[in-house]
Amino acid sequence: MPPHILILGGTAEARHLAADLAARPGVRVTTSLAGRVTRPGVQAGEVRIGGFGGAEGLADWLRTHDVDALVDATHPFAESITANAARAATAASVPAVVLRRPGWCPAPGDRWYDVASLAAAAEALPGLGRRVFLTTGRLGLAAFAHLTDLHFVVRSVDPPEAPLPPHTEVILARGPFTLAGETELLRAHAVDVLVTKDSGGDATAAKLTAARELGLPVVVVRRPPLPAGVTAVPDVSAVLARLGFDGF
């Protein structure tokens, strides 16, 4: 039987890894998606959609589908599935690799305010400006709903879920975004302050450069820690090396 690799996806890196593995003869690759976005991008190999039912459900899935290796390539803020993946891999005795793109680091000229949560970002905002560009995704916006004096421009792939702040404009868009486009957006909406998760990667980093060039402060929600004992590799080639495919 060909080796079966399960990728926990929802990121560009997961798509790139699936494309690489699916192109290799004699490798079976399945990507698992949570089913949160209505139009997920094109995905090579097999795809399954929806939760597993916790760590036990995922461990069962690994056993019943004869998975030989698990790659957790989920988003750095997808904390529950990462914890479940670590437990399930141990329970099912399946080797596991965690792929996490490196976080963003400030460059000279950046005015970044690091916070540990969306709630802490909301607390920091009133001192930083009245017009906020919020790029933390469509979920969790309840943390900002009490900020009735601020104006929010929210950008997300799918429409955000209530409760939202009363003064909210929504822009539906999917990256990658360009520096020219981000600069124009910040100017056109007279943005005073940007809020972002530390997602890392190039696709959504242009807003940080645009904010720096315009002298705007950025509230950066830092990542939750990985589960105890878990370490991550930074890119697809490191995953391939861990899986024993480097040099092929």
Ligand X SMILES: NC(=O)c1ccc[n+]([C@@H]2O[C@H](COP(=O)([O-])OP(=O)(O)OC[C@H]3O[C@@H](n4cnc5c(N)ncnc54)[C@H](OP(=O)(O)O)[C@@H]3O)[C@@H](O)[C@H]2O)c1
Copy the structure tokens of residue 240: 């391939």
Contact 182, 207 (CB under 8 A): yes
Q: Closest approach of Cβ 221 to ligand X, in Å?
A: 10
Pick 78 or 206: Cβ nearer ligand X: 78
Which of 8, 115, 128, 194 is the binder for ligand X (CB under 6 A)? 8
Span of 46-54, 102-110, 146-154, 181-189 interacting with ligand X by CB under 6 A: 46-54
Task: Report if residue 10 touches ligand X, rule: CB under 6 A.
Answer: yes
**Which 3 state secondary structure label does DSSP give 237?**
helix
Task: Report if residue 41 touches ligand X, rule: CB under 6 A.
Answer: no
Whats the size of the chain, residue-wise?
248
Which of 2, 41, 53, 102 is the binder for ligand X (CB under 6 A)? 53
For 52, list phi and psi in degrees, rounded to 5.
Answer: -95, -15
Contact 58, 85 (CB under 8 A): yes
Tell me the Cα Rg of the chain: 19
Pick 156 or 168: Cβ nearer ligand X: 156
Please give the sequence-ordered ranges of beta strands (E in DSSP) within the chain, or none if there are none: 4-8, 28-33, 46-49, 69-72, 96-99, 111-115, 131-135, 151-156, 168-172, 193-197, 217-221, 232-233
Task: Report if residue 24 touches ligand X, rule: CB under 6 A.
Answer: no
- Report 119-138 residues binding ligand X (CB under 6 A): 137
Which of 57, 126, 166, 244 is the binder for ligand X (CB under 6 A)? 57
Task: Report if residue 84 touches ligand X, rule: CB under 6 A.
Answer: yes
Pick 7 or 216: Cβ nearer ligand X: 7
The CA dihedral of 168, 169, 173, 178, to the nearest 10 degrees, is: -100
Task: Report if residue 210 touches ligand X, rule: CB under 6 A.
Answer: no
Using CB under 6 A as the criterion, which residues of the chain lie in contact with ligand X when the complex forms? 8-11, 32-34, 36, 51-54, 57-58, 74-75, 77-81, 84, 137, 197
